Structure formats: structure tokens, C-alpha cells
A and B are shown apart, each in its own frame.
Chain A
Amino acid sequence: MGILNNILLVAAGIALTLASLWFGNNHHLLPETAATEAELFDGLFNTTLVIATGIFLVVEGILIFCAFRFRKPPGDDTDGSPVEGNILLEVVWTAVPAVIVLWLAVDSFDVYQRMQTGSGILMLGHSHSHSAEVASHEASEQATHYQEAFTKASRPALEVEVTGMQYAWVFTYPETGVVSSELHVPAGERVILHMTAQDVNHAFWVPQFRLKQDLIAGRTTELAFTANKIGEYPIVCAELCGPYHGIMASQLIVEDPEVFATWQQQQVLAMKEHPQPIQLASSAFAEAHQHSLSPDVAHHLRAIAHH
């Protein structure tokens, strides 16, 4: 009986480990990835989910086991076992979680640093070589092409100024003076956003990049990333910014570096030939709600028009 129990226990442990590993790596909870940071995120997320699934199965398993095994037998009105504690058990369930969470904290810190290397908030613009190094370590196969291009070119990061306002995004490329309502970036290159908010706080979020940064009125915040998959991704405002917060959206367009260069040239030409206000991403909305937009937004629209 004792041996049978041990075998059952070991089998349960193996099944539980396998189930946790499987779920942590096949959860389908996240959208596709389109940046090197997103791949780092997914690795850490999956690891965390494996651990969380394991803890979940152990605790719920014991709870359900107790619920059936330790039901009051019919007609038995006596008490259960009088055991009040067990030092060894208590030490184990204090120490094991402590080790797990500290290890997770260290791992999270490591991943966070790797996400930031190259141009984090503290280390802004100091160590591009690190970025390439990390990129070559971490890049997935589909990204390799752009990573190589980036490593070879080793150009300084593309800088873009981002302004958030109720309820639109404005992207300015300081090198060329291009102003756009959509964010175009070249694949495989480091991009640094310098962000500020015109009126209230906003947050710049691209779910496929797993990156988010608040735009804070009166402050400048930075966000750096390396996109690695061509495509169009939503830019979502994630910080409550007023009644129409939910429609404050734009597009992030990741292009082949050559296509991006062409786009920029076209924008420069277009601006020289027809200096006119840009079409804000939510301009259809802005027109429909002209009367309810704040004076700040109206002012900004005029400012762009005269640019």
C-alpha cells in the first residue's frame, strides 16, 4: 500500500510537471510578436506561466482531494485529527515560494535589462553595440535578416517625437521634419520614442511589441524598441484620457528599411509641395465631434497646419 501510494505520488508529480510545461508553452493567450522585446517577454511569460500552472494544480489538486477524501462520514460527529502544525512542512512552504519568487524577480530583472539594453530609460543612447549583441542572441529565425542588416549598418537609432492629445497621436521625425499621424519605422533598427502629452496623461501601447509607456503631461518619457516583423500593428492608448479614450488609436507600420526611406522622402516632398495639415488617425472622429474637442486639440491642429 505504501509503495503503491509512492508510485501514485511520483506519477502525479510527473503528470503535473508535464501539464504545467505544456500549458506554459501552448497557452495561446498572447498575440503575435513583432519586436525583439516581445520575444524576450514571451520567454519570461511562458516560464512564469509554467510555474503558476504548477502551483495552481498543486493547490487546487490538494483542495479538491481534501474536499472528497475528508468529507464527514455519515453519522460520524467526532472531530478530525488534532495535528496543529509541522515545523518541517512550514519551513518548506515558506522557503520554496521564497526561492521561486526571488528567482523570478532576478529573471525578470535580467529580461528587463536586456529589453532596455541599447536605449533604456537610464542608459539612453549609450550602448548600441549591446543592443546588436543581444539582438543576435535573442532574435528568432524570422528576424535574423533584419538583425544582420542592423548589425552591419550599426546606425544610430531612429528618433521619433511622440505627442499624445485627446484623442490622437502625432509622430514627428526630427531629422527630416516629417509629421505623421501614423508611426512608420524600419524593421531591424533601433527606434527611440521621446514622448510627451499635450493635455492629460496617455499611454503608448503596442500589444505585438509587449511594450507600454505612459505619456505624462509636463514630462518627457522614452521608449525604445527594435521591430523585427513587417506589418501593421495597432497603437492603443492604455491610460484613461477622457470620454473618448477608447477610440484613441493609430497604426504602427513596420517597413523594410528601403521602403521606409522612400516613405520618408515622399513625405518630405509632399510637405514642400502642399503644406497642409496632416490627417490625424482619428480625424473622422475629430470632425464628427469638432464641438466637443478641447481647445488644446484645436490649437494643436492649427499649429500643425501652419507647420
Chain B
Amino acid sequence: MTAQAQIGSFSPADDSHRHNSTLEQPWWIYFTFSTDHKVIGIQYLVTTFIFYLIGGALAGLIRAELYTPEADVVGFEYYNGIFTIHATVMIFLWIVPALTGGFGNYLVPLMIGARDMAFPKLNAVAFWLIPPGGILLLLSFFVDTPDAGWTSYPPLSLLTGVVGQAIWIMSILILGTSSILAAVNFTVTILKMRIPDMTMTDMPLFCWAMLATSILTLVATPALAGALILLSFDLLAGTSFFNPTGGGDPVVYQHLFWFYSHPAVYIMILPVFGMISEILPVHARRPIFAYKAIAYSSMAICGLGLIVWAHHMFTSGTPNWMRIFFMIATMVIAVPTGIKIFSWLATLWGGKIRYRSAMLFGMGFVSMFLIGGLSGIILASVPLDIHVHDTYFVVAHLHYVLFGGSVLGIFAGIYHWFPKITGRMYNELLGKIHFALTFIGFNLAFLPMHKLGLEGMPRRVAQYDPQFTTLNQVCSIGTLILAISTLPFLINIIVSWVAGKRAENNPWEGLTLEWTTSSPPPIENFVEEPILITGPYDYGVHSREALAFFKEQVALMQKAAQSQQPSHS
């Protein structure tokens, strides 16, 4: 009866006496083992954002250390632990869980008209693995930090502190398990839980992206788990899988590690590709250009992403034939990625663009991710990579992909779905200030790193040649601006969530199914199973009629709900 009671209190969007939404549930629901995909999605987003702030604070320490050439802020002894945990937090506790766990959870069931994920309890288990994994990792600061970088290559990882390294391995195993459980859930949900009318090619592109991401997670993550378990045997039980003093081979670890960790890059970017494909059409009022090409290019990236890992090992003594194979495979991945970028441009072309914060971040994403893609082509080329490998050029590249790509995409997603998730509107002006500061700070922080790497500055150093001082200071100032840029965002989100203007059900006039229900949606998402009357991107075709129909539907639902109310209260 719970669900019906929830339906029973359904009321118009501008009515402030709603009790049915996840938002109006008591605050402590977010600290429970809730199986509602929307509660879990919010749990993921808020938890991972806290980890993002922690990872960002560590980045601040790194850039403070690098403001001068001498190791005079945190010192040699602590620097490696700081960048190791910075990277681990940003990858495993922010980008991956925020995108798949956060947005994936919140949006996938809504977009395909389902009432929840296929396995709600498994979903909650996947989330509740995140806090212990993250807290365990951070507690290492009080005993012994892992010092071998997020790559943890042996023999170094076997010779730094045993306790710190063991904590790191345990933490990644927990977080990796969470990721695998979530991937199983998404795959089944997307393939089996769509409303009957919706074929695969009627699905919103975000669902295609989540499908590709989940397949990639399922294939690749077990390899990392295996590598780390073997590493822990070497570390704790004295075996010699990777330890050369006992006849082991450290290069084997690199293969296993990158067999997961390169696909991990696509795990961190494919969902963003999906979100951008949702956001651009809505705010440009245009159908997505080349739907099928975008959908299939996600699957192509998923497939190709599994056969490019050794481009991280061009200087590892990798045999020549392998270098050539992985160079070509890596280069080819530029093709499906290019298809997406060109299709997004064509989506903007001929549109009527509304500049809301979500759109600014979405277009900012396209412009910045492009730079990461172009430097990626340089890294794919064997002779060019040999010079820039393990230098600041790589640091620049990966931040253009993961910050200019993933993080700008996450912000675009937060602004776009904020009204749906919270039932409140955010402040556009603060959103635009946030975008401007982020864009400027980001480019100041990371653009000069390309030159630093090409000129000869290796990565992962606490101290550097004084000739690199000026550019490093620019990077550090950029990081400070990035840190400041978080403030307008936090103020905006917190104040708007508590006291923002009530949001309409469909403030951006979107055509995907999450906009056909109330903001925030009721516990089982839809009062009645939604009917598919429009494609997800039919702007300029019959969007007026579809939107009018959505409004009618919601009004009917609310009327029906109100007439039921007395019998339940």
C-alpha cells in the first residue's frame, strides 16, 4: 500500500504541500539501506561530491608544493602519498561512482519508464560499499599512506610501506566490487526493463552510453581485481608473481593493470558523452544529429577500448609488434570519438540555443574534451609518446579528458537534472559565475602543463628544475581559481535545494521520459506506465504536441491521485 499512499498525495507542481517525493522523505532516509534508485542516486552524488572536495584539497596541496621548485611545502616524504590518494579518490570515489552510480542510477530507470532498477537490493549494496572503501583509503593518512602512485607498479609498490599499500589494495577491491555490481544491474535494467514500446533505438543516448560503460566494466574490472589480489600476495605473503627478486615479472602487472585502467578512462567518459547527447538537444531545441551513429559509436568505443591498453607501456620494453598494434588501435578510437563531436556540432547548427548553466557546461565540455582528444593522438603515436610519456604532458592530457571532459560533464548534468532531482530551481547567475571561474581556472591550471612536459618536466616530482618555475606558478594560480569556483556552486546548490523556487515538472521542455513525471518523481517514478508518444529528441518535429500531451497526462494523474486521497488519509 505504500506506493499507493504515495500516489495518493500527488499534487500540482506549484503546490508546496507535497509529501510524496523522495525529497520530502525524512532526511535520515539518505542514511539508510534504501532500495529506491532515486535515493541511491542522490546518495551516490552527494557522497562522491564530498570525496571530490577531499581530492580537490589534495590537488591544492600538490599545486602548493609545486609553486616553488624546492620541496618545501609538504616535502619529499609526504608528496607521493598525497598524489597517490588524490588520483585514487578522483577516479574511484568521484568520477566513476558519480557518473555510473549517481547519474546512472537516477536517470536510467526514469528514462526507460521503469519503476526501479532490476535488482534494487544489489543496487543498495553497491552504494554502501563506497563509504567504507573511501573511509578506509582516507584513514591511511593516519597510519601509512600508499606511496606508489595510483598505478602502484611493482617493485616500487612492494618496497614502500606495506600497511599503506595493503590499505590501498583493499580499498580498490571494495570499490571495484561496487562497480561490478552496479554494472550487472545497469546491463540487465537497460536490456530488460524498458517499457514494451521502447526498442533499443528508441532509447535515450544516455542509456546506450550506460550500456557500453557497463559492458566495459564487466569485462575489464575483474582483471584489475586479479592483478591486485596477486599484488597483495606478493606484498603480504612473499610470493613472486611480480617481484623480480623471486623471478616474477613486473611488466605482467602493468598489462593487467592497464587492461582495466585504460577502459576505465572510457568508463569515466562514456556516461558523459551520453549526458551531453541529452543536454545539447534540449537547450538547442534541435533533434540530436545522427542518433544511430552516436549510439553505435559508444559501442565501438566500448569494443576498441578493450584493445588499446598497451599504449601506456610504449617505454616498458614492450615488443615492437605490440607497439605497432596498440598504436593503430588507439589511433582508430579517434574515429568514433570524432563522430560524436561532429554530431554534437551539427546538433547545435540550426538550433535556437538557450544559454543556461547546463548548456554552458555542455558546450564547455565539447571545447575542452576536444583538446584532450587531440593530445591523445600525440600520445598514441609510438615515437611521440616515447618523449612525452610520464611527463607533465600526460598530466595535461589526462586532466583535459577527466576534468575538461568528465567533470565539466558532471556539472552540466547536475544543472540539467537539478530541478528534476530536487524539485527546485537553481540560481542561473551563480551557475554562470561558476562556469566562468571553472573555465578560466581549468585552462590556467592545465594548459601550461603541455609545454612543461614537452620541455622536460617529469610527472610525480616534488621538486623540479628552476627553469620550469613560471609555468608551474601559472598552474598553481589556476588551481586556486578552480578551488574558488567551487564556492558559488556549493552556495547555489545548498541554498537552492533548501529554499529554491519550486521547479515545474518539465522546466526545459525535454522530451525524454524523466520529464513526463513530477519533479521530484514519486517513489515508483510514474503513476501509470508511461506511453511512448515521441522519440527522445523530436524537437522541431512535434515537440509542442508532445509537451502538451505530457502536461495533460500529469494533470490527469494528479486529478486521479487527488480523488483517491481521502480514502487513504
User: Which A residues lie at the B interface, using CB under 8 A?
Assistant: 29-31, 40-41, 44-45, 48-49, 52, 55-56, 59-60, 62-63, 66-67, 70-73, 76, 78-86, 89-90, 93-94, 97-98, 101-102, 104-105, 108-109, 111-112, 115-116, 120-122, 199-201, 203, 205, 207-208, 210-214, 216-219, 221, 234, 236-247, 294
Contacts and interface: CB of A to CB of B under 8 A. Distances in A.
Interface in B522-551: 537-541, 543
Contacts of A212: 315, 386-387, 389-390
B146 to A, nearest CB: 12
Nearest to A296: B159
A214 B332 contact: no
A69 B286 CA distance: 14
Given A29-B451, A70-B350, A244 B370 contact: no
Closest 3 CB pairs of A and B: A218-B244, A246-B461, A207-B456
A31 B338 contact: no
A63 B348 contact: yes
Contacts of A82: 286-287, 538-541
Given A41-B387, A79-B285, A108 B382 contact: yes
B328 A102 contact: yes
Contact of A98 (B79, B153, B335, B380): B335
6 contacts: A60-B367, A85-B290, A201-B156, A216-B316, A242-B80, A243-B80
Interface string B343-356: 10110111111110
A52 B244 contact: no
B398 interface: no
Contact of A44 (B244, B319, B343, B384): B384
Contacts of A98: 332, 335
B463 interface: yes
A59 B285 contact: no
Interface string B141-159: 0000001110101011001
A200 B455 contact: no
A48 B378 contact: yes
B33 interface: no
B80 A40 contact: no
Q: What size tier do the contact residues of chain B reach?
A: 35 or more
Given A60-B370, A242-B156, A70 B349 contact: yes
B334 interface: yes
B363 interface: yes
Contacts of A41: 383-384, 387
A211 B345 CA distance: 38
Contacts, number: 271
Contacts of A199: 155, 159
B454 A240 contact: no
A101 B332 contact: yes
Interface stretch (B56-64, B245-253, B415-423): B245-253
Contacts of B293: 85, 90, 94
A121 B383 contact: no
Q: Do most interface residues of chain A lie in helix, strand or loop, or is the interface mixed?
A: mixed
Contact of B244 (A83, A217, A238): A217
Contacts of A86: 289-290, 346
B387 A207 contact: yes
Interface in B308-330: 315-317, 319-320, 323-324, 327-328
A112 B320 CA distance: 10
Contacts of B147: 242-243
Most chain B C-beta atoms within 10 Å of own C-beta, residue among A78, A212, A247: A212
B354 A219 contact: no
A234 B456 contact: yes
B39 to A, nearest CB: 35
Nearest to B77: A243
Contacts of B76: 243-244, 246
B68 interface: no
A73 B382 CA distance: 49
A243 B160 CA distance: 9
A89 B349 CA distance: 13
Contacts of B149: 240
Interface centre among A52, A120, A211, A246 (most CB of B within 10 A): A246
A105 B348 contact: no
Contacts of A109: 324, 327, 382
B461 A245 contact: yes
Contacts of B463: 246-247
B492 to A, nearest CB: 23
B348 A81 contact: no
Given A72-B353, A216-B251, A238-B390, A90 B315 contact: no
A48 B159 contact: no
Contacts of A112: 323, 382-383
A48 B377 CA distance: 8
Nearest to A30: B454
B456 to A, nearest CB: 3
A189 to B, nearest CB: 21
A171 to B, nearest CB: 19
A122 B541 CA distance: 60
